[in-house]
Amino acid sequence: MQWKTDWGLRFRMFVTMFLLFALFIVFAGALSVYFFGGSIFVMVVLFGSFSLAQWFFSDRLTLWSMGAREVSEEEYPELHAAVGRLAQQADLPKPTVAVADSRTPNAFATGRSKNKAAVCVTDGILRTLDRDELEGVLAHELAHIKNRDMMVMTLASFLSTLAFIVVRWGWLFGGGRRNRQGGGGIIVAILVSLVVWILSYVLIRALSRYREYAADRGGAAISGKPGALASALLKISGTMDRIPEEDLREEAEMNALFIIPIEKGFIGRLFATHPPTEKRVERLRELERQMETV
């Protein structure tokens, strides 16, 4: 495997984390004053508990939210063999292998580190792709783990999730005697949280688009078959149009993790977590031509 460090991805991850940290300071300050009535201790306990739970259990929580389960080698021998072989080629520990009961053909990787990672595929993708195409997709997911962008996405989603919780449910828990600002303070806290959520949402998606290109390149390096990944992307993208709308809506919140996002319409494209499939395929075809001339 000819693996090259993607410094463009590393720079973008650093900038994203720096900006998200700045947003977190503003967010924490606003909540401390307007939501918790200046009680820093309560805020630290709540934020600390939430962040530790997400950090240590992010892989299990993600699999649970998708209705996925860890599978054994006896249940899925070919899938385990492919993941193990590709992980060895990528110089990675073999991740947990999971399968989600879903007709939607998709796959994702999750986890906070190389040693605490999981690769999940849906029943739909197992039925849709041939062996080479599936290995191309698995190599793409392993590239996410090797690039460590899953760790960054785990940390980044923490702030976005907290802000969204305050926006949606803050009016239920704010106020009372502890809130020195009264009802107006709650409104300020919710408005600040809304701004933080929108900005973190945009930052995460900007990083997510680039990391997909990086994972495509990395997956091609791991499997040595960029054409197989390109074929898989086209096949998955075409199959999405035949999936019932209700099934797509149930899984849309996982877009940032999927190899192909679930999104429709202008707004969906504007805030897309992934670059257009056509552009990804075009780059993979070009990479395939380059590899053939070497």
Give the closest residue to 120 by CA, choosing from 92, 91, 103, 99.
Answer: 99
Query: Is 141 designated active site?
Result: yes
Q: Which two tokens stand for residue 188?
A: 């300020």
Q: Per the residue annotation, which of 141, 246, 250, 253 is the catalytic one?
A: 141
d(CA 259, CA 112): 18
Enumerate the β-bridge partners of residue 69.
99
79 closest CA partner among 150, 145, 115, 127: 127
Of 48, 60, 64, which Cα lies nearest the Cα of 158? Answer: 48
- 10 Å CB burial of residue 283 (0-12, 13-18, 19+) is middle
Which residue(s) pair with 68 in the sheet?
100
> Considering only CA atoms, which of 74, 121, 130, 84 is closest in space to residue 100?
121
Active site residues: 141
